Amino acid sequence: NAGVTQTPKFRILKIGQSMTLQCTQDMNHNYMYWYRQDPGMGLKLIYYSVGAGITDKGEVPNGYNVSRSTTEDFPLRLELAAPSQTSVYFCASSSSGREKLFFGSGTQLSVL
Amino acid sequence: QQQVKQSPQSLIVQKGGIPIINCAYENTAFDYFPWYQQFPGKGPALLIAIRPDVSEKKEGRFTISFNKSAKQFSLHIMDSQPGDSATYFCAASKGGSEKLVFGKGTKLTVNP
């Protein structure tokens, strides 16, 4: 099992550019999450999904969009990148919601 | 509004010491309290979790102490080792919710 796989690992964007952060899991988990981690600020929930076709906003959804067309994939879309979106992004999945989240290794994004 | 307050921000101990990390919460609807461990360049991983019906839970060298009346919980690491050097996050969740709220994290360094 690969677990939760995130691509790319690193990316530099220019202000106003768009990109999609990819996340896929092979554990057949229904629950998937996107978090951002800023230094000294912990993990903030951006969006989450409780199953294919169902998504909902977290604490900090502005500037992001998600889709969940399959159980395995949960991509995060940045439409107009801003410097405030410079962060490390983590995707996570779980079979039981809040209990035992499995995290990917992260995508480090810089917007310059 | 920070729902889970974690302290200290950083902590340095000698090998064999017992670091203690504290978290406090306000929302009495929280009923699940996990701790996650994160090594540099990796995603967080579940370490140990507790529910309010018990005051203490041990798993190996890691212990959670829970004080429901004070709305506080803490992580103790017995006989700490250099390999325990990592960032530790407490979190909390309400019953019926699929979401976790994380503290800001504590960077632990265990010197040889």
Give the tens place of pLDDT for each residue, A52-86.
Answer: 999 999 999 999 999 999 999 999 999 899 999 99
pLDDT tens digits for B44-84? 999 999 999 999 999 999 999 999 999 999 999 999 999 99
DSSP code of residue A71: S
* Residue A7 or residue B98, greater confidence: A7
Mean pLDDT of B4-30: 96
- With CA atoms as reference, the chain B residue closest to A55 would be B98
CA distance A3 to A14: 31
Q: Per the CB < 8 Å rule, is A101 touching B105?
A: no
Token pair 């999945």 is found at A93
Assess contact for B93 and A47: CB atoms under 8 A: no
Instruction: Please state the length of chain A.
Output: 112
Q: Is the pLDDT of residue B23 over 70?
A: yes
Chain B residues within 8 A of A48 when measuring between CB atoms: 98-99
Asked whether the beta carbons of residue A42 and residue B41 sit closer than 8 angstroms, the reply is no
B51 to chain A: nearest residue by CA? A99
Q: What is the pLDDT of residues A13-44, one digit of tens each?
A: 999 999 999 999 999 999 999 999 998 889 99
Which one, of B63, B71, B82, lies nearest residue B17 by Cα?
B82
